[in-house]
């Protein structure tokens, strides 16, 4: 049983949460994170030892690239044994992609890695940033009676809800309730107390933390729409440009029976390309073969992405292509669950 103060490392990457209004220009700009206690004095009252590190140049999350994900994952990996939990402050726009990527890069977690951010800068009166930050720290520090972390995975905390990172999606550009996990229930809801959904929390079968820093970015994503000019997408279906593609299909995984589309897919797969079918509906799952318009996919070897979000599917493709060479192994990884992202 531990009785020392839990410790949390905050990794500040940028985004709205760390911004204040320039008094002269009115522009939003990042503040020096070392001054966080000035903006959130409540942190002094938490029974948590808080330390922070920051990106040298904090960024809007629209600027995030897989290299930044590697940087973040490396920061967690390097500090893993020194802290009880981690909070990553990140812009909300691409948070679901980043949280998904880190879930695949850091497998075997037994400590929480909580992404949070805000819709309003921490320096504004009605900010949602303070509550998000304080509760994210509380969750990152929370342990059960035996001293084990309650959350042992990458998660997103936003507006009183904790979501599995690789199940989350940003759904609102202006509501405080900006995230959801459409195909998986919340991991926790913060009210007067933080109520954990204990049977939904991920538990790894790995014996220790494994770091997978390699991401292969030769992946493409095509969203179908009525009238889509498939010929314009020829380069995306070129194995020299991409090694795997996500097709965002309609409903339960349906697509038009257009002959140009079909020959692009068949040639691509014959050359070794991988095609993953993800529904563009915000909830529900792909069921290839349910309708005649998706039976074709089964015939030519398109992989069903089940109920994965596009964000998780994209990160999972980058991870799978980055770490496994063999096509069968890649397909096996893509169809099964790695860390609670599907099913």
- Write out the two tokens for 187: 């991991």
Considering only residues 110 through 129, tell me which ones interact with ligand ASP, judged by CB under 6 A: 117, 119
Residue of 16, 127, 180, 242 with catalytic role: 16
Site for ligand ASP contains 91 (CB under 6 A): yes
Burial of 226 (C-beta count, 10 Å sphere; 0-12/13-18/19+): exposed
Distances (CA, A) of 321 to 106, 213, 259, 314, 326: 16, 12, 28, 11, 9
Q: Is the Cβ of residue 62 or residue 81 nearer to ligand ASP in the bound state?
A: 62
Q: Is the Cβ of residue 66 or residue 91 nearer to ligand ASP in the bound state?
A: 91
Considering only residues 8 through 27, tell me which ones interact with ligand ASP, judged by CB under 6 A: 15-16
Please confirm, yes or no, whether 16 is among the known catalytic residues.
yes
The distance of closest approach from Cβ of residue 28 to ligand ASP in the complex, given in angstroms and rounded to an integer, is 9
Which of helix, strand or coil describes residue 281? Answer: coil
Residue among 48, 50, 58, 61 that touches ligand ASP (CB under 6 A) = 61
C-alpha dihedral, 43 to 46 to 49 to 51, nearest 10°: -20
Compute the distance between CA of residue 163 and CA of residue 92 in angstroms, rounded to an integer.
Answer: 14
Would strands 303-304 and 274-279 be described as parallel, antiparallel, or unpaired?
parallel
The distance of closest approach from Cβ of residue 63 to ligand ASP in the complex, given in angstroms and rounded to an integer, is 8
Q: Is the Cβ of residue 56 or residue 199 nearer to ligand ASP in the bound state?
A: 56
Compute the distance between CA of residue 315 and CA of residue 308 in angstroms, rounded to an integer.
Answer: 11
The distance of closest approach from Cβ of residue 334 to ligand ASP in the complex, given in angstroms and rounded to an integer, is 28
Q: Summarize as ranges the residues that interact with ligand ASP (CB under 6 A).
A: 15-16, 60-62, 91-93, 117, 119
The residues assigned a catalytic role are 16
């Amino acid at each position: 049983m531990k009785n020392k103060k839990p410790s949390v490392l905050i990794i500040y990457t940028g985004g709205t949460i760390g911004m204040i209004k320039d008094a002269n220009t009115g522009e939003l700009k990042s503040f020096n994170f070392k001054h966080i206690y000035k903006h959130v004095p409540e942190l002094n009252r938490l029974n948590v030892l808080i330390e922070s590190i920051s990106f040298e140049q904090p960024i809007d999350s629209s600027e995030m690239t897989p290299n930044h994900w590697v940087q973040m994952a490396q920061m967690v990996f390097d500090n893993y044994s020194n802290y009880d939990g981690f909070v990553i402050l990140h812009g909300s726009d691409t948070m679901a992609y980043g949280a998904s990527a880190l879930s695949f890069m850091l497998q075997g977690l037994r400590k929480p890695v909580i992404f949070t951010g805000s819709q309003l800068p921490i320096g504004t009166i009605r900010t949602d940033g303070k509550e998000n930050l304080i509760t994210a720290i509380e969750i990152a520090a929370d342990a059960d009676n035996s001293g084990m972390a309650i959350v042992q995975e990458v998660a997103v905390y936003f507006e009183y809800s904790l979501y599995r990172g690789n199940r989350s999606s940003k759904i609102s550009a202006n509501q405080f309730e900006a995230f959801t996990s459409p195909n998986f229930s919340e991991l926790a809801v913060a009210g007067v107390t933080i109520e954990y959904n204990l049977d939904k929390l991920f538990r790894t079968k790995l014996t220790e933390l494994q770091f997978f820093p390699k991401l292969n970015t030769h992946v493409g994503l095509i969203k179908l729409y009525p009238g889509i000019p498939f010929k314009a997408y020829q380069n995306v279906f070129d194995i020299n440009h991409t090694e795997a593609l996500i097709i965002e299909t309609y409903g339960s995984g349906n697509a038009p029976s257009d002959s140009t589309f079909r020959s692009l897919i068949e040639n691509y797969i014959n050359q070794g390309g991988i095609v993953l079918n993800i529904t563009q509906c915000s909830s529900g799952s792909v069921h290839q073969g349910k309708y005649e318009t998706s039976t074709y996919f089964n015939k030519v070897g398109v992989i069903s992405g089940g109920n994965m979000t596009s964000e998780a599917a994209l990160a999972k493709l980058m991870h799978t292509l980055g770490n496994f060479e063999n096509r069968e192994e890649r397909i096996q990884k893509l169809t099964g669950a790695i860390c609670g992202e599907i099913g």
